[in-house]
Amino acid sequence: MLAELRWIAFVWQVMLESTLRTIALSTKGFMPEAEGDALYDAASRACAALPGLPIVEVGSYCGRSTVWLGAVARDHGVVLHAVDHHGGSEENQSGWEWHDPEVVNAHGRIDTLPYFRRTMQVAGLTGVVRECVGDSHAIGKDWKQKVSFCFIDGGHGRDVARGDYEAWSPHVEVGGLLAVHDVFERPEDGGQAPHDEIYQPALRSGKFVEVSNCGSLRVLRRVVV
């Protein structure tokens, strides 16, 4: 089976199959298992509601969350566009808490693209995952397709987060879902940019309503153009 079903709180939740789950959890990244499962379930529902439309991930790092989303794309016969410059977000740079010296290349720069490609190869998802290597703001502004699902998990600087929201939220089709990671209401729990620059503006716009949450993951449905 490509997916397993688990009965939780009287709702059938679609779950990632065990082989890909093992690959996802062994991949460098910051997506907790429960939030990855919630991401997979939300993307599956979006693809079922809007068949044929592609899905987008903004911020792939080494491909941990991409495994969950790539499996959704494979199961529903669509493409996942994985957007990342692969140079590391602000919090990944040297001297910051989330810096990993293993992803620094021979030139002294963070380069997660080889790790990402390896993850997609091991997971067998290269046929449905399209690399979009570059600036997420520029790629999003030039984007031409509507998407059923957009997951924003890019840089956590305020300008970066705001730019991701402005560049990508317009491409979510009505009835589609916008997912935002690392949404923390209290500053002491984490960076505030995803909360203040993506999540709150989406709700204030009147175009999105929250439909689910798990940990720091928030999922919103687009209800009007």
DSSP letters spanning the chain: --EEEEEETTEEEEEE-HHHHHHHHHSSS---HHHHHHHHHHHHHHHHHSTT--EEEE--TTSHHHHHHHHHHHHHT--EEEEE-SS--GGGSTTSTT--GGGB-TTSSB--HHHHHHHHHHHT-TTTEEEEES-HHHHHHT--S-EEEEEE----SHHHHHHHHHHHGGGEEEEEEEEESS--SSGGGS-SHHIIIIIHHHHHTTSEEEEEEETTEEEEEE---
**So what's the pLDDT on residue 92?**
65
d(CA 44, CA 17): 13
Per the domain annotation, does 169 fall within a domain? Answer: yes
Looking at residue 6, its pLDDT comes to 39
For residue 5, being part of any structural domain is answered with no
| pLDDT at res. 76 | 98
* 99 included as an active-site residue: no
Residue 69 located in a structural domain = yes
Q: Are 82 and 130 in contact (CB under 8 A)?
A: yes
Q: Containing domain of residue 171, as a range?
A: 18-222
Q: What are phi and psi for residue 97, nearest 5 degrees?
A: -60, -40
Determine the pLDDT at residue 187.
83
Catalytic one of 81, 156, 171, 181: 156
Residue 101, pLDDT score:
77
**Positions in the chain short of pLDDT 50:** 1-12
pLDDT computed for residue 93 by the predictor: 61
Residue 106: the pLDDT is 81
Looking at residue 5, its pLDDT comes to: 40
- pLDDT tens digit sequence for 97-150: 666 778 887 888 889 999 999 999 999 999 999 999 999 999 999 999 999 999
CATH number at residue 153: 3.40.50.150
Number of domains observed in the structure of the chain: 1
What is this structure's pTM? 0.90
Within-domain flag for 9:
no
pLDDT at 111: 93
